[in-house]
Every structure is written in structure tokens, then in C-alpha cells.
Amino acid sequence: MNLLFAGDVVGNAGRRVLLERLPGLKEKLRVDVVVVNVENAAAGFGITEKLGREFLALGIGVLTTGNHVWDKKEALDYIATEPRLLRPHNYPAGTPGSGWAVTRTAAGVPVGVLNLMGNLFMHPTLDCPFDCAERALAARPPELRVVLVDFHAETTSEKMAMGWHLDGRVSAVLGTHTHVPTADERVLPGGTAYITDVGMTGCYDSVIGMDKEKVLRRFVRKLPERFEAAEGPGTLCAVLVDIDERTGRSRAIRRISVAEA
């Protein structure tokens, strides 16, 4: 099984390159299932129902998010009716939506997707992501062997710890949130594919997807500045994970980077 996971879609540039390049990538790489983090898709902050529908129409199996999931108020209603849109699973009980979904390949193979958010320097009041992962995996049916974890976290240490914690028990632990692709992709000894951060799908002529002049003014002048998503050529950053669907163990992981012409 070939699983393609694309990192945080940011603003117009990210949406544009995803819509333009994903269909060709799916065909070229013989992708069986696609998962995309979309938490920054709406002008750099949040997700809307209109955008969610556009993404799902591309054949994306599951949409994941993170700390910006509620930036657009309508997401609270949309997520309650769209099970393919996830929010971090370690939000308190009663929060709209879920952080767990099961999609299927064209051949009918089930693929579980678990969306978690880190505590360090992010949301220390959320449930422990490690405990939450344990509970979610304990409840999965035995026939569900392929499981992807999108761990939306700030620190490399927390992400790496999650990779080792789940090694051999999930197919992949893929980091998101920092918008900068890391070069540490590998398959851990137990068969879990890992990367600290997949990177963003957006404009890299920026500061993590935001207009660089506005960000520089905040850093240099120390005054409040409203951030806006950068405009310019987009780059789709993703990873392709080769998974043995019989065991759920990964055989390989490689980074994918496709820029607009």
C-alpha cells in the first residue's frame, strides 16, 4: 500500500498547488490513500466547509488539523457533520468532532487515522497525547492493521518520543505544525515510519507560510502586526509511505516536494 500524507496546507498558495498537483501525484506514485493536514488552509488560519468539500472532492481520504482547527467559527458545525475532518483526539470529551477516522483504499483495505496534538509549548491543558494514543489503539478492531498518526506538535523531542512510544504498534507517526520539512525520515526498528515534520504545502518565499515583511516587522520593531498568508509560488510537501497491508508495518518512507511551474 502506498500512503501519501501532505503537510499543513497554508493559504491560497497551498490550496492552489494541492489542487493542481495532487491528481498527477496520485497517478504517478500509484497512491492508494491520501491524508492531508488542512488546519491553515483558510487564508492561513483554520478550515471552512467550502474548502473541506473541495479537498475531499480530490479523493483525499481524511483531513487532519491542529491548533488552528477552530479559527473559523463554522468549523465547529462542519466537523460535527463531516467524519472525514478530524481535530486532535486529545481534546476534552464533548468537543465537537473526533480525532479518529477509518478510511478505505479502492481495494477495500481499512486505514485508521489518529490526529493528536502535543502539550509542550502548545496546549498543556489538553489530555496527554501519549495516554490518548493508548486509549485509541486499545479500542481499534483487530482487523485494522494500518494506522497513521498525525502528531501536531511544537518540539522535536515530543514528536520523537511519540515515534518511539508507538514503534511497532502503528504504521506511521508523521509530525506536523512547524511548517519546515525535516530530513530525518526513517523506518523505526518495529516497522513504524517516522519523520519529525513533513513540512507545509504553501509558499516557501515566506516565514513558515506567512508574509515575510509582516513577520520581520514584528521581530525587528517589536510591535503588533497582523500576520497574513504569503502569496507566491506554492510547493507541495508530503511523504510517501510504503506499508505492508497484511501486517501494518512500513517498508519505506520518502519525502516528496513538488513546486508550481
Cα–Cα dist 223/53, whole Å: 38
| pLDDT averaged per 10 residues in sequence order, the chain, 261 residues | 98 97 97 98 95 97 97 96 98 96 97 98 94 97 97 98 98 98 98 98 98 96 93 97 98 97 71
β-pair type (100-104, 110-117): antiparallel
Amino acid, res. 137:
L
Q: What is the pLDDT of residue 4?
A: 98
| CA angle (109, 111, 239) in 5-degree steps | 115
- Which residues are catalytic, by number? 68
Q: What's the predicted TM-score (pTM) here?
A: 0.97
Distance CA(110)–CA(131), nearest Å, equals: 24
Return the pLDDT at 108: 96
For the chain, give the number of residues: 261
Q: Which CATH superfamily is domain 2-259 in?
A: Metallo-dependent phosphatases (3.60.21.10)
| Range 98-107, long-range pairs (CB < 8 A, 24+ positions) | 99/132, 99/136, 100/136, 101/62, 102/144, 103/33, 103/35, 103/61, 103/62, 104/33, 104/61, 105/1, 105/32, 105/33, 106/32, 107/32
What's the pLDDT score for residue 58? 96
pLDDT, position 62: 98
Residue with cell string 502535543:
118
Torsion sign across C-alpha atoms 127, 128, 132, 135:
negative
As a whole number of angstroms, the distance between CA 172 and CA 18 comes to 22
| pLDDT tens digit sequence for 120-133 | 999 889 999 999 99
pLDDT, residue 247, reads 98
Q: Which one-letter amino acid corresponds to residue 95?
A: T
